[in-house]
Amino acid sequence: MSRNKGARGENELAAILSDELGTVVKRKLGQARDGADDIEIGKFRIEVKRRETLAIMQWCKQIEACTPKDQVPLVVFRQNGQEWRVVLRLRDLIPMIREELAATPYHAAESPPE
């Protein structure tokens, strides 16, 4: 039962990402057997969890253990009736914020232009 729910969650997230990104995203078959990530998009390695009981740190350790150093491990999870959520390490988030700040001429971290 939980394996089926997990596969449904992976397929649900893959469909959302495919629609939003405009590219085909598929779950990786055999990942549970291989101990690998569920979905891979560029440098992102995604562990998908569709559970009511949360074990976020356990899931983080699981995906971090199989993610190469130059890749970004993500845990994406959802409980019934809730939105999908993403967990990532702060050290992986900071470069993304820096990139956004560099691309934006004005941002909230600065004083407004006079």
Q: Within a domain: residue 7?
A: yes
Model's pTM, two decimal places?
0.83
109 occurs within a structural domain = no
d(CA 40, CA 78) in angstroms, rounded, equals 18
**Has residue 94 been placed in a domain?**
yes
- With respect to residue 89, please indicate whether it lies within any of the assigned structural domains: yes
In sequence order, what DSSP letters do the residues of 41-72 get, joined into one string? ETTEEEEEEE-SS--HHHHHHHHHHTS-TTSE
* 111 part of a folded domain: no
pLDDT tens per residue across span 41-99: 999 999 999 999 999 999 999 999 999 999 999 999 999 999 999 999 999 999 999 99
Q: What is the pLDDT of residues 34-52, one digit of tens each?
A: 567 899 999 999 999 999 9
Task: Give the chain's domain count.
Answer: 1
- Give domain status of residue 112, yes or no: no
Strands 85-87 and 72-78: antiparallel
Domain that holds residue 51: 2-103
The CATH number of the domain where 71 resides is what?
Answer: 3.40.1350.10
Let me know if residue 114 belongs to a domain: no
pLDDT score of 32 more than 60: no
